[in-house]
Amino acid sequence: MSWLEPIADYRGAMYDLVLRNVIYRMDPEFAHRFAVAGFRYGGRVLRMLGGRWVFPSPPASARVHALGLDFDAPLGLAAGMDKNAEAVPGLAAVGFSHIEIGTVTARAQPGNEKPRSWREKDVRGLRNRMGFNNDGADAVARRLARLRSHRAGKRVILGVNIGKTKVTPAEEAPTDYGYSARLLSPYADYLVVNVSSPNTPGLRDLQSTEALRPILEHVRAAADDAVGDRHVPLLVKIAPDLADEDVDAVADLAVELGLDGIVATNTTIGHDRGPGGLSGPPVLPRALEVMARLRARVGEQMCLIGVGGITTVADAQAMLDAGATLLQGYTAFVYEGPAWPARINAGVTPRR
């Protein structure tokens, strides 16, 4: 047994006490905002602790080269936690190998009416119908410019997840996505086109190849125009609820257009718990199926980011074994605590 394991068990027990006696007493959305503020203003302290016994660095064997980038380990933070790029260095300090911010839309929007976030404690899941509440691409671009001007911000591998503004008609979606891509790609290590959230009306219809093709083409052109000679990797994020033939169609389109990768999967609407998309362990079986199907379809070269229900080291390894190049999580971070990402990254073996 490693000497770190008793420490990890102690940290886990302490966090479980905080979870049950403090966090569960908060409204879920308030708890989310409170956590983001904590990572934002406590980032310097977390960075001082990073790499030590509190948040141990992953072993060299965990390193992954993907998207033209060198990741210290597979697991990063999924979009949805830091929607507006407010706490990137603090979140990176706890052991995530990359941070994906967003979803960011071209125009600022408040999201759906409250309540719009729920804990599904019996399955250690989360359910939300947030509706892409965010500060908008202009404000986030200014924030990212400040972030990238500082040493701590430059070191983070940063993904930027972009979505459609709610009031934008579907036929104008390519222009809407392109606006965000043009503003945000200069600060991004990679871009993700999100067409898979269930909480913006009509958004998932954009996963059809007929609707998706012009969006991806427009985003690619906008990003290239904004960054000049630098290539910003472009990925698309899909839902677990796609039929197998639609998964295949998106995979084929990604190969045809020369996308750099696919993120699979988002939250699911395949549940009976109320409105919104469900994340956490119930998503894992389908996420693994989608991942294996994508890998078989696109071959070995494309980067696939596996997300959906990863909680344990065994879950993470199963996703890697199914074909994932990189991993992301969010829901388990809420239930398992700040030591979770370092624990996962220390325990997995990436694909070679």
Count of structural domains, the chain:
1
What local confidence, expressed as pLDDT, does residue 4 receive? 46
- Spatial distance between the Cα atoms of 94 and 118, rounded to a whole number of angstroms: 25
* Residue 144 covered by a domain: yes
Number of neighbours of residue 290 by Cβ within 10 angstroms: 28
* Residue 210 covered by a domain: yes
> Looking up tokens 């989360």, which residue turns up?
126
* Residue 352 covered by a domain: no
What local confidence, expressed as pLDDT, does residue 12 receive? 67
Give the Cα-Cα-Cα angle 2, 91, 17 (nearest 5 degrees). 60
What local confidence, expressed as pLDDT, does residue 15 receive? 87
- Specify the DSSP class assigned to residue 202: T
What local confidence, expressed as pLDDT, does residue 10 receive? 57
161 SS3 class: strand
CATH number, domain containing residue 135: 3.20.20.70
> Looking up tokens 């104008």, which residue turns up?
172
- Spatial distance between the Cα atoms of 154 and 147, rounded to a whole number of angstroms: 7
Q: Would you list which residues are annotated within the binding site for FMN?
A: 79-83, 103, 161, 194, 237, 265, 280, 309, 330-331
Q: Which two tokens stand for residue 167?
A: 């009031």
Q: Is 197 a catalytic residue?
A: yes
Give the Cα-Cα-Cα angle 193, 289, 350 (nearest 5 degrees). 75
Whether the CB-CB separation of 164 and 215 falls below 8 Å is answered with no
What local confidence, expressed as pLDDT, does residue 3 receive? 40
Q: Would you list which residues are annotated within the binding site?
A: 79-83, 103, 128-132, 161, 194, 199, 237, 265-267, 280, 309, 330-331
What local confidence, expressed as pLDDT, does residue 53 receive? 53
Domain that holds residue 144: 4-347
Omega prior to 267 cis, within 30 of 0:
no
33 SS3 class: helix
- Spatial distance between the Cα atoms of 115 and 128, rounded to a whole number of angstroms: 9
What local confidence, expressed as pLDDT, does residue 56 receive? 79
pTM over 0.85, yes/no: yes
pLDDT per position in the chain (352 positions), as tens?
Answer: 344 455 455 566 788 888 999 999 999 999 999 999 999 998 778 777 665 556 778 999 999 999 999 999 999 999 999 999 999 999 999 999 999 999 999 999 999 999 999 999 999 999 999 999 999 999 999 999 999 999 989 999 999 999 999 999 999 999 999 999 999 999 999 999 999 999 898 989 999 999 999 999 999 999 999 999 999 999 999 999 999 999 999 999 999 999 999 999 999 999 999 999 999 999 999 999 999 999 999 999 999 999 999 999 999 999 999 999 999 999 999 999 999 999 999 999 999 8
Q: Give per-residue burial for 319-343: e unless 16+ CB within 10 Å, then b.
A: bbebbbbbbbbbbbbbbbbbbbbbb
Residue 217 region, left (φ>0) first, then alpha (ψ -120 to 50), else beta?
Answer: alpha
Check 97, 197, 208, 279 and give the catalytic one: 197
